[in-house]
Structures are given as structure tokens and as C-alpha cells.
Amino acid sequence: MQRDLQNLRKNYVKGALVDDKVPMDPFQLFDQWFIEAKEHLSIDEANAMSLCTIGLDGYPKNRIVLLKEIEKGCFLFYTNYNSEKAIAMEKNPSVSLHFFWPALERQVIIKGDVSKVSREKSANYFKSRPRGSQLGAWASDQSSKVPSREFLEQKLLSFEQKFDNKEIPLPEHWGGYSVTPISFEFWQGRPNRLHDRYLFEIKADKWISKRLAP
């Protein structure tokens, strides 16, 4: 397959990062941007983020997960503890999160260290999930090989029957992760590819920022 994509381009004109208006705290800027993304009519899931891990094969791998909370300076998401990404994070807890909001011509890249949240916190979040999502967490051995779609649907049905008229408990293999940021990079598209980039890095418990060339 061959595709000529050289003429796919656009000019970015929807915003700017003005030096004297950039907050000193990256969480403040992230919160401003996230609120704008969440309220934008053309953005369906503002909390969708790409999680990058380093696999056991040495290669980086990205996948989309959903941000569920920002708590005490950490970004929280939930997944299967036996999944490929969980195994990768157990081996190497250095990860990257990437938010891309094209309708606003903005990106945020966050590097950080990941760890599991408490069992109590995972249980509280699990209770808030729709019943179908709770059953799906039981039915899917995430990242494992399955013979067919029908196999998955039969597993789901078996757990529907098992927990019929019962509260669905938190599976042992499922829970939350917390990412503690060590850096933020904010990217705002600008005309003529002279994009605005601001990097925040934590130094001696203080955030230091600098503008980067696009």
C-alpha cells in the first residue's frame, strides 16, 4: 500500500500560550485546558489519554485509557492487573500520558511514575461503574488469547448468571493506578508551525518552566 500524504496539512490558529499568562503551576494550566476540552462540543471524551509503557520486549507501546480522577497531584486510571500494560508497568513504572484535543489544537504530555492505588479506592470506584462494565471486568482476561467473540460473550453470560440479583464484587485482578508526574509539556498549535511549547519539570519539589522551540 502506498499513499501520498504530503498535501495533508492545516494552519493552526485557535489559541496561544502567552508567556506572562502561563501559570507557575502546571496543574492549574492542565485544569484550565481540561475544562475547555470537556465543555467543547466537538470533543467526545476529554479524559481519553494515551498511556505509553515499555514492554517486556523493550518496545514502547501506546493505548488509550480513561482518566478517572486527579487526586493529590496524581492522575488515576483503572485496568486489569494481569493485562499486558500492567505487566509492563510492574517491570518498569516509568510511563507517559498523552492528551490530544485536536478541536482545540492542543496536546499535553505527562511523564511520571506509576503505582497501584489502595484496594479500598479501587473497590469504591468499581461500585460506581455500570453493572455491564463490572461484569466485563470479570469476563475478560485482558490481553490473553481467546478462541472467538462467542467465547467472550459466553463468559459474560456465565457471570451474569453467577451474580444475578447480587452485588458484583471487585475482582482480585482489577484496580487502579496512580501516575505521579515529574514533567508536563503543553503544546498549542500556532501559525506557520511556530507552535507554543511549555515544559514544566519538578526540581527540589518546585515546578520550573521553560519555553521550547517548536
Give the catalytic positions in this structure: 193
Determine the 3-state secondary structure of 41 from DSSP.
Answer: coil
Q: What is the DSSP code (8-state) at residue 193? A: G
Cα 162 to Cα 64: distance, rounded to the nearest angstrom: 30
Torsion sign over Cα 169, 135, 156, 149: negative
Burial of 57 by CB count in 10 Å (0-12 exposed, 13-18 middle, 19+ buried)?
A: exposed
For residues 188 and 36, is the Cβ–Cβ distance under 8 A? no
Cα 99 to Cα 181: distance, rounded to the nearest angstrom: 14
- Report the run of H or E that residue 169 belongs to, with start and end: none
Task: From 101, 109, 3, select the one nearest 52 (Cα to Cα).
Answer: 109
Parallel, antiparallel or unpaired: strands 106-116 and 74-80: unpaired
Q: How far is CA 157 from the centre of its chain?
A: 29
Grid cell 518498569 is found at: 92
